[in-house]
Amino acid sequence: MDKIGLIISREYLSRVQKKSFVIMTLIGPFLFAAMIFLPTYLATTGGDTKSIAIIDESGKFAEAFVSDEETKFEFLDIDQEAGKELVKNETFDGLLYIPDVDTQDPQGVSFYGSSNPSLSLMKTLRGKIEGEIENIKLKQSGIDREVLANLKVKIDINTINLSSDGEKQSSSIGASAIGYISSFMIYIFIFVYGAQCMRGVIEEKTSRIIEVVISSVRPFQLMMGKVVGIAGVGLTQFLLWIILSFGVVAGLGAVFGSPSTDMKTQQKEQLESMNVPQDETMDEIEQDVMSKATKALESIDIPLVVVSFLFFFLSGYLLYGALFAAIGSAVDSDADAQQFMLPVTIPLIISIISLSAILNDPNGTLAFWLSMIPFTAPVVMMMRVPFGVPGWELILSMVLMIAGFVFTIWVASRIYRIGILMHGTKVDYKTLAKWFMMRN
């Protein structure tokens, strides 16, 4: 057993000390942080000021278009063709042409631009025209804006879990988020580190070290040492990422302000710009939502989620890692591995595709069966656990999972012990089956 320990520590240390590992570990959190902050940052700073020419033949919209930081509006009293020329020679970034429209059926509004206009610009323009027509119609019908605002109601349905532990406020959004994130992490982990197992075996095979090592240790020890060592590398990386990500997000948050408040002000600005009256109680509602969210998160059994995550994370990786190692042993190069990769990765891809279906019905038939099959269970079960899974299902799935990885490790080791000594043989599934059946 101490030999397995030796192999594990070599596999682990040789990878952790690599420059690429250190760089990825350091860069990872910044990438995550960038994914969170960049959209906010870009949205708040905005692009260059755009100048839009407006030809308003109806004369109804003079008050609707007020220039701001992002867009400068200029009403022109020329004909459509002359306006187009101004866009062509780049005096303006775009031309909004409003014909003499009928407020009952406003048709024929066109936008001329030198390039495709951005979605947000189109949204702003549309919002302004719609808002103004709405105002006109309200005035025509004699309805006051205040009255209309009072008519609008906001309804929020509280969801409560009736479980044996009593009533709990639940949050399907929180559960979905946790489920999605943990499922995807398992999926990515299996792919990235499974492929590392395969490449490690191919490297040992092509560098011909394998026979030297095999004369000291059993092939099974070498294979398991590699699979377990790489699992350690993955866990280390994720752990460091989580710690560093929190650090980076907290740090950036202190510098740029928290993304959520930024988004709030931004939303408000958008609402204002669309001439929608400001809802005074919005902040209160939001606070309510926040407290509800934290309360709802309390309803998710966090320790159970963490334990299940670690279990399916590791057992799923062991199951696939062994298979990837077996593939590596059978081939002479990465390129040869492709034909065997496909059948191994199909169950993983199926489980990731079925996630949205499982999200719709976390305790349905599809969800049940996919979380019982060891090949799909790691990804699928993690989607379900945050929603609450009957205890017996979880235990059965875990038992099947253990049986599953013991089985694939057994199959893989039988292929591995022969495969690693074979060079230059053309390998197909028949050969693999033959190796598997060989007595020794």
Residues 201-230: x/- map of binding to other proteins (CB under 8 A)? ---x--xxxxxxxxxxxx------------
Question: Phi then psi for 168, rounded to 5 degrees?
Answer: -140, 140
* Least Cβ distance, residue 21 to other proteins (angstroms): 12
* Least Cβ distance, residue 9 to other proteins (angstroms): 9
CA of 392: how far to CAs of 67, 173, 302, 373, in Å? 63, 25, 18, 15
CA angle, residues 12, 14, 20, in degrees to nearest 5: 105
Interface pick for other proteins out of 82, 239, 421, 433 (rule CB under 8 A): 421
403 binds other proteins (CB under 8 A): no
6 binds other proteins (CB under 8 A): yes
Q: Which of 59, 66, 57 is nearest to 110 (CA)?
A: 57
Q: Which residues make beta-bridge pairs with 54?
A: 75, 96
Q: Which of 22, 413, 29, 63 is nearest to 252 (CA)?
A: 29
139 binds other proteins (CB under 8 A): no
> Other C-beta atoms within 10 Å of 288: how many?
12
* Least Cβ distance, residue 208 to other proteins (angstroms): 3
User: Which C-beta is closer to other proteins: that of 5 or that of 251?
Assistant: 5
User: Which C-beta is closer to other proteins: that of 190 or that of 195?
Assistant: 195
The site for other proteins, by CB under 8 A, has a size of: 22
Q: Which residue intervals of 331-423 are DSSP H helices? A: 334-353, 355-360, 365-370, 377-384, 391-419
* Least Cβ distance, residue 417 to other proteins (angstroms): 9
User: Which C-beta is closer to other proteins: that of 225 or that of 374?
Assistant: 225
Residues 6+ apart with CB under 8 A from 231: 193, 314, 317, 318, 321
* Least Cβ distance, residue 413 to other proteins (angstroms): 14
* Least Cβ distance, residue 262 to other proteins (angstroms): 45
* Least Cβ distance, residue 423 to other proteins (angstroms): 7
User: Which C-beta is closer to other proteins: that of 211 or that of 272?
Assistant: 211
Alpha-carbon torsion 405, 408, 410, 416, what sign? negative
Stretch that binds other proteins, among 3-11, 123-131, 177-185, 345-353 (CB under 8 A): 3-11
User: Which C-beta is closer to other proteins: that of 19 or that of 430?
Assistant: 19
What is the CA 420 to chain-centroid distance, rounded? 37
Residues 6+ apart with CB under 8 A from 56: 62, 75, 98
Stretch that binds other proteins, among 136-144, 200-208, 364-372, 426-434 (CB under 8 A): 200-208
CA of 309: how far to CAs of 217, 315, 384, in Å? 33, 10, 11
Rounded-to-10 torsion of CA 79, 85, 88, 91: -80
Alpha-carbon torsion 255, 258, 259, 263, what sign? negative
Interface pick for other proteins out of 423, 425, 428, 434 (rule CB under 8 A): 423
User: Which C-beta is closer to other proteins: that of 179 or that of 200?
Assistant: 200
Stretch that binds other proteins, among 2-10, 98-106, 133-141, 190-198 (CB under 8 A): 2-10
Rounded-to-10 torsion of CA 295, 296, 298, 302: -150
Residues 157-196: x/- map of binding to other proteins (CB under 8 A)? ----------------------------------------
For binding to other proteins (CB under 8 A), which residues are involved? 3, 6-7, 10, 14, 204, 207-218, 421, 423, 439-440
